[in-house]
Amino acid sequence: MTFINYASREINCKIVYYGPGLCGKTTNLQYIYEKTNPNAKGKLISLATETDRTLFFDFLPLELGTVRGFKTRFHLYTVPGQVFYDASRKLILKGVDGVIFVADSQNERMDANVEAIENLQGNLKAQGYDLMTIPYVLQLNKRDLPNVAPAEQMTQLLRKKGEPVFEAVASKGVGVFETLKGVAKLVLQELTKTG
């Protein structure tokens, strides 16, 4: 649900990073935070446990510049990945404009990836959205680890609707901005469609 303010000429969009526990959602946000020009970003807020596991969400506001005279603001959120935080995940999807699914490329996390995508589909539905129509991209993270599944195999297993797929190493920043740009593009394209 994009918020368009004609008075202050702003478009506000909400992007959510989704994925299984420890897949690197917060790491994506941290890298974006580190690499963004200070004028273009707000504070990175992390509601995390003492061991740095996301408890409720991380939040990063980004200002990307103007399109057709409108300032575009993206609000990036992550969800807690651990299975038992499902109630929180549902809340964060409220009003979402675009979703990035961060998949963990390690072989032993494949079941967790599949489970998390199913969870995403269910939770989107509960908020009245459909994964098939919402702006959505898939990120295959942790490509630098030794025990990863081949990208083609993961794409075949996890891709839902021909969405863009990005390979990434979030801890080193590889593919992080490409993924964000991919989803931002889809969200803005959605705006060009008639209301």
Query: Can you give the binding site for other proteins, defined by CB under 8 A?
Result: 1-8, 11-12, 14, 37, 42-43, 45, 47, 56-57, 59, 61, 64-65, 67-68, 70, 72, 75, 77, 87-88, 90-92, 94-95, 127-129, 133, 177, 181, 184-185, 188-195
Of 128 and 146, which CB lies nearer to other proteins in the complex structure? 128
Provide the sign of the torsion angle of the four alpha carbons 90, 113, 54, 24, taken in this order: negative
For the bound state, the minimum distance from the C-beta of residue 123 to other proteins, rounded and expressed in Å, comes to: 13
Residue 169 DSSP label: B
Q: Phi/psi class of residue 52: alpha, beta or left (left: φ > 0; alpha: ψ in -120 to 50)? A: left
For the bound state, the minimum distance from the C-beta of residue 103 to other proteins, rounded and expressed in Å, comes to: 23
For the bound state, the minimum distance from the C-beta of residue 146 to other proteins, rounded and expressed in Å, comes to: 32
Contacts of 139 (CB under 8 A, 6+ apart): 28, 100, 101, 102, 103, 165, 166, 167, 168, 170, 175, 179
Beta strands at 10-18 and 3-5: parallel, antiparallel or unpaired: antiparallel
For the bound state, the minimum distance from the C-beta of residue 113 to other proteins, rounded and expressed in Å, comes to: 25
Of 34 and 144, which CB lies nearer to other proteins in the complex structure? 34
Runs of H (alpha helix) within the chain: 25-35, 86-92, 110-126, 151-158, 176-192
Of 48 and 70, which CB lies nearer to other proteins in the complex structure? 70
Of 124 and 148, which CB lies nearer to other proteins in the complex structure? 124
> How far is the C-alpha of 120 from the C-alpha of 79, rounded, in Å?
11
For the bound state, the minimum distance from the C-beta of residue 144 to other proteins, rounded and expressed in Å, comes to: 24
Of 117 and 131, which CB lies nearer to other proteins in the complex structure? 131
